[in-house]
Amino acid sequence: MTVASTDILTCEAMSIGHGEKVIMDNLTFGLAPGKILAVVGPSGCGKSTLMRALGGLDEPLAGTTTLLGVNLVTASRQERAAILRRTGFLFQGSALFSSLTLLENVEMPMQEFLQAPKREIRQLAEYKLALVGLADAMDKLPSEISGGMAKRAGIARAIALDPEVIFLDEPNAGLDPVSSGRLDELILRIRESFGTTVVLVSHEVPSILRIADFCVYLDPEIGTMGAYAPPKTFLQAGNHAKAHAFFTQARLD
Ligand SMILES: Nc1ncnc2c1ncn2[C@@H]1O[C@H](COP(=O)(O)OP(=O)(O)OP(=O)(O)O)[C@@H](O)[C@H]1O
Ligand SMILES: [Mg+2]
């Protein structure tokens, strides 16, 4: 696996984990701008931890990672903050503020980072919510909406500041197939309209096959990535047995 100088996101010989504990070792891959990468693997293998490291929220335990041309390991606090401003996150479980309406949730990052009048921020937030199909639910609280709507509201917040890269942790989890399909279309539409690069964690094979250009399979048994390839590759037997099993739900024994 090699990394290209034009990649918008890279990691080389990267170890991730918590405290002293290494969860995944020797991760090396890159992603070109405007591509969609799916991170897959069994529960607890480190997908969310990898996403946080790639997004610059947590430091890797070893190796390097770059995002938007900046080495996140050696970056200063200011450089890191500037990169954060150009990225968006949907955390596992959406993580909307429960006491704020959807509109207020999307306005939050805008109020923090944009020097714009309140009215303008409101219009921008309304636009983002309309984009994700929530024009009629802007004044609702997170407790008053469905899981699928919460995911879409989370995505509206993630794209509030027109990020160049978005990180989505299990955007399809818990959604019925129709809502999941709609969310896939939304992600593709965002990429098409804004050229956004997307890193997403997913267990949903149909969704990954539909939208991802590449897929990194984390294998907890060997403690590193088992494969990095376009997802369709994993449908064929022979290349990567565990990734193939994951994609075809086949048993290995
Ligand atoms: N903040 C933390 N401190 C210590 N250990 C953690 C922390 N967060 C996660 N872990 C541990 O790191 C490992 C990987 O967790 P992670 O959440 O990255 O897995 P995951 O692949 O996203 O799992 P899931 O599919 O359940 O979301 C797990 O063993 C988990 O218990
Ligand atoms: Mg996770």
Q: What is the DSSP letter of 46?
A: S
- Return the number of other C-beta atoms located less than 10 Å from residue 124's C-beta: 18
**Statement: residue 88 has pLDDT above 90:** yes
pLDDT tens digits along 119-162: 999 999 999 999 888 999 999 999 999 888 999 999 999 999 99
Note the ligand closest to the C-alpha atom of 53: 1
Ligand closest to 91 (CA) is 2
Q: Best mutation site among 18, 43, 219 for ligand 1, i.e. most ligand atoms within 8 A of its Cβ? A: 18
Query: Measured in angstroms, how far is the CA atom of residue 123 from the centroid of ligand 2?
Result: 33
Ligand 1: distance of its center to the CA of 19 in Å? 12
pTM above 0.85, yes or no: yes
Residue ranges lining ligand 1, Cβ < 6 Å: 18, 23, 43-49, 92
What DSSP string describes 81-142? HHHHHTEEEE-TT----TTS-HHHHHHHHHHHH----HHHHHHHHHHHHHHTT-TT-TT--G
Residue closest to 142 by CA, chosen among 174, 189, 96, 209: 96
The per-residue pLDDT of the chain, averaged, comes to 93
Mutate to test the pocket of ligand 1, among 49, 57, 58, 59 (most ligand atoms within 8 A of CB): 49
Instruction: Tell me the CA–centroid distance for residue 18 and ligand 1, in Å.
Output: 8
In angstroms, how far is CA 188 from the centroid of its own chain? Answer: 13
Q: Which two tokens stand for residue 141?
A: 């609280």
Helix (H) or strand (E) holding 55, with range, is none
Rounded CA-CA distance 89/149 in Å is 16
The phi, psi pair for 27, rounded to 5°, reads -90, 125
CA distances from 208 to 17, 214, 235 (A): 25, 9, 12
Q: What is the pLDDT of residues 172-226, one digit of tens each?
A: 888 888 888 989 999 999 999 999 999 999 999 999 999 999 999 999 999 999 9
Mutate to test the pocket of ligand 1, among 14, 21, 47, 170 (most ligand atoms within 8 A of CB): 47
